[in-house]
Amino acid sequence: MDNIFENGLTAMEVEAKLERVRQSPGGIEKIAAQMKALIIETLLYEGRTRQLYQMHKLNQGEEAVYDVDIRVPAYAMSIDGTPYKAIPKSGRVRIETAPIGSRILLKWTDQNYRKFDLVVRGTERAKSSIQTQEDDRAIKVLDAASDAYNDALLQTTTTLEIKKVIQALATVRNNRHVASKIVLSAMRTADIMGWNIGTGGGTGIFSPATQEVLQKSGRIGQVFGVDLLEFVKGEIDGKDVDIIDPLKVYVCTSPELLGVFTIRQELMSEALKDPNQYGDVIAFMEEVGHFIQFSNGIVRIDVAAA
């Protein structure tokens, strides 16, 4: 079927074309499919925080208190979104949780044409926005803690070399931790592919079907048996941003020893009508906290800028 909404048609020509398609077999479904395509735009961002940290769901009224090693710096995310060094008392640390959210506006005029598609896609994008915020906070805390115990390794070239990764893996193991994840930006994937040691996908990693699966899961393969966890760009405040600095790579211990993703309030939604904007507003919110428990299980590699 030709594109109903092609450029260069007058309003009357579009109406006539729509009417012909509507009267054809399955015409309404054809129109709906093309209208839905206009609001999909890109693949949705899929969060990685829950793969990197261990999760802890708080009971009602429970405080977020965790054991720490007073010899090893611990870091947490403040309510205003700034990482800070946590101060232990009697070998324990209490962290704060903060709300993060997103909302969508469904214009009444748009709902007359494609209400179902707008609600579904709007909900998906709002949830994706919250996952982006989760990951943005998780990486900020991880970065703050990355050189609190272990010195960052400086890569003097503009590409990530395997020797630095081996050195980082050895440092983590020397601290009596087990390296579990190599956390990196999608822009560093080219360096990994250049090693030609196999990342689980080989050259097939660039096939469209494989790319979609990898972008959703983030796990693009393994190096020396350690998972590669890839972060792509996310959308925050309407702008595409790098969740992780392309010039930084983190080798991290297992989630059980790295830190905690604390959940006080699971994702919830509320809807209301806003006559000032002539639409329905659906707000999504969750209350969470991010905590790096043992910073000696993190080694950061800084790659030189081009």
- Rounded CA-CA distance 253/256 in Å is 8
103 and 231 inside one domain: yes
Q: Is the pTM of this model over 0.85?
A: no
Which run of H or E residues covers position 117?
helix 108-145
64 and 35 inside one domain: no
Is 184 inside a domain boundary?
yes
Residue 239 pLDDT grade (very low, low, confident, very high; cuts 50, 70, 90): confident
pLDDT of 199: 46
Q: Does 71 score more than 70 pLDDT?
A: yes
66 and 23 inside one domain: no
Q: Does 271 score more than 60 pLDDT?
A: yes
Report for 29-33, 108-112, 223-227, 233-237: range of highest mean pLDDT: 223-227
Is 3 inside a domain boundary?
no
Is 6 inside a domain boundary?
no
93 and 18 inside one domain: no
* 262 burial via Cβ count (<10 Å: 0-12, 13-18, 19+): buried
Q: pLDDT tens across 117-139, in order? A: 677 777 888 888 899 999 999 99
Number of domains in the chain: 2
Q: Does 36 score more than 60 pLDDT?
A: no
92 and 211 inside one domain: yes
196 and 252 inside one domain: yes
Q: pLDDT tens across 202-235, in order? A: 445 555 555 666 666 777 778 888 888 989 888 8
Is 15 inside a domain boundary?
yes
Phi, psi of 129 (to 5 degrees): -65, -40
Is 1 inside a domain boundary?
no
289 and 206 inside one domain: yes
Sign of CA dihedral 118, 122, 123, 128: positive
pLDDT of 250: 97
Weakest-pLDDT range from 31-45, 76-90, 160-174, 279-293: 31-45
Is 275 inside a domain boundary?
yes
95 and 190 inside one domain: yes
135 and 231 inside one domain: yes
Q: pLDDT tens across 131-160, in order? A: 999 999 999 999 999 999 999 999 999 999
170 and 147 inside one domain: yes
Is 132 inside a domain boundary?
yes
CATH number of 109's domain: 3.90.1690.10
25 and 156 inside one domain: no
Beta strands 298-303 and 279-292: pairing type? unpaired
Residue-range definition of the domain harbouring residue 151: 49-303
Which tops the pLDDT comparison, 10 or 208? 10
18 and 59 inside one domain: no
Is 130 inside a domain boundary?
yes
Using an 8 Å Cβ cutoff, are 299 and 258 in contact? Answer: no
